[in-house]
Chains A and B, each alone.
Chain A
Amino acid sequence: MIVLENINKTFRVAKRQAGFGRAVKALFSREYELVHALSDVNFKIHDGEMVGYIGPNGAGKSTTIKIMCGILTPDSGSCEVDGRVPWKERVAHVREIGVVFGQRSQLWWDVPVIDSFELIRDIYKVDQKRYKNNLDELTELLDLGEIVKTPARSLSLGQRMRCEIAASLLHSPRTLFLDEPTIGLDAVSKIAVRQFIRKQNAEHGTTVILTTHDMQDIEALTERILLIGKGQILLDGSLDELKRRGGEQKIEEIVAALYKEYQI
């Protein structure tokens, strides 16, 4: 279970201005502004839930994810994942979570994927039996057969993403954070990834928190939606409820209308 209560986070950002004169001026004095990345964020996610975390760029999605992963400490408020405070018990906490950053790779670029898997196994101290079970299952479900013998750099984006997801699940985490897992994928790979995530959730009860801009991901995967804008949770409800509100409209249009309504 994940519980966030009154989480606040503020960043100080230097202003950068265009133009020659201003660039010279900025040499001597620089202005800063405070950005409220998160203000008073509250939500609860139960074990085995699949939650879609949506909002425009810069709304605070990745800040929240980073807090839940233990990468970032909030200014105030409390956050507990399975009873642990992520940034206080980093090592114990991250053993139980899996993270996929869609835009970055965790695989060693120049060696066969299987070598990366084995190193990850040793990093997480997964025992050989469980590793083999997990690997067999992931290989079958994600169709990794020959792919794992190839270096990551020679894989297509879709193949690589499947490997990334597998790499994040080798240690059987209770919670899986997916940050734009389908970005840039072709239609076939997208569907394969979605099917797999659904299965993982159904069979292992893995809690899934998914950020994405692809509303089809949301539609295919999640029952519950968290909408964040300008650092605030604007909406926390079920997908069905949202659909009812929108009537005949497609989910993209409903979300676009929401963005407009909240002026984010």
Chain B
Amino acid sequence: MKEYFALFRIRFINGLQYRAAALAGLATQFAWGFMEILAFGAFYRANPAAFPMEFSHFVSYIWIQQAFLHLFGPYGGNPDAVESIVSGNIAYDLARPMSIYNRWFAENIAGRIARTALRCLPVLVVAFLLPAPFKMTLPPSLFQLAMSAISIPLGLLVVVSYCQLDNISTFYTMSRQNAIFVVAADFFAGGYIPLPFFPEPLRKIVELTPFAAMQNMPLRIYSGDIAGMDAVKAVALQVFWCATMLLAGKLLMRHSLKRVVAQGG
């Protein structure tokens, strides 16, 4: 375990070095959040009855989304990992006494937490201080808060285990291009528009997929859009997808590493 903490620490310090980047990111995320709220606000004004979430829930959704952008974004997982597979340098990693899967997993999580640690608090603090309708609100109950506290790390694990599948797919495609993985995950996890805005039959299907277990659930549980028993079910689905994709990733990894060894790297 110790070596994973060491890796984690290096990545984390690395992330802290970039002060200007953090400030710039902060400004960008604010502006982005505002624009989203303004856009949806225009639709809300056009027809409040057709708006599928409470507006305040929606506002909280957007601000947490911005605050945790780099925690849940299905991109930028491990570019080094993909590079080492394509270039064949992965053979050297095999020589290290460390599971490659676990190492990538630790690095990916560390990178996400480091980038989020600097940015999420300022975004959240200011979002709470904003005037209505931009003001972010607390969850409607202690239960929702507790459930979202469980759901956020689970969402992170789901995203990372998904990114791992993306990385491992490189063994088979040998291409650096993974935009399909990213766009699909971003779109169906509610990165473009929240899932409640999806047309009805599609929404029901998407809500069962691993994508819905990413940012969609923690964000909507926090805001109160997924409440009570539904929140419990949502968390259970997250656990299911996380376990499934972890297992699938480990199995696929073993299979593809065997191929690498067989081909001599």
Contact = CB atoms under 8 A, between A and B. Distances in A.
Interface stretch (A18-26, A129-137, A183-191): A18-26
Contacts of B9: 20
Contacts of B22: 27
B19 interface: yes
A23 B19 contact: no
Interface residues of A, number: 8
Interface string A5-16: 000000000001
Nearest to B13: A23
Q: Size band of the B side of the interface?
A: under 10
A27 B13 contact: no
A3 to B, nearest CB: 40
Contacts of A26: 16-17, 19
B64 to A, nearest CB: 23
Contacts of B16: 23-24, 26-27
A101 to B, nearest CB: 24
Contacts of A24: 16
A20 B5 CA distance: 13
Nearest to B16: A23
A30 B19 CA distance: 10
Contacts of A19: 13
B13 A20 contact: yes
Pick the most buried of A16, A26, A27: most chain B CB atoms within 10 A of its CB.
A27
B54 to A, nearest CB: 37
A27 B22 CA distance: 10
Interface in B83-120: 118
Interface centre among A16, A19, A23 (most CB of B within 10 A): A23
Interface in A24-66: 24, 26-27, 30
Interface in B17-47: 17, 19, 22
Contacts of B13: 19-20, 23
Nearest to B17: A23
A20 to B, nearest CB: 6
Contacts of A27: 16, 19, 22, 118
15 contacts: A16-B17, A19-B13, A20-B9, A20-B13, A23-B13, A23-B16, A23-B17, A26-B16, A26-B17, A26-B19, A27-B16, A27-B19, A27-B22, A27-B118, A30-B19
Interface of B: 9, 13, 16-17, 19, 22, 118
Interface of A: 16, 19-20, 23-24, 26-27, 30
Which A-B residue pairs are the 7 nearest by beta carbons? A23-B16, A23-B13, A27-B19, A20-B13, A23-B17, A24-B16, A27-B16
Given A26-B19, A27-B16, A27-B19, 13 more contacts: A16-B17, A19-B13, A20-B9, A20-B13, A23-B13, A23-B16, A23-B17, A24-B16, A26-B16, A26-B17, A27-B22, A27-B118, A30-B19
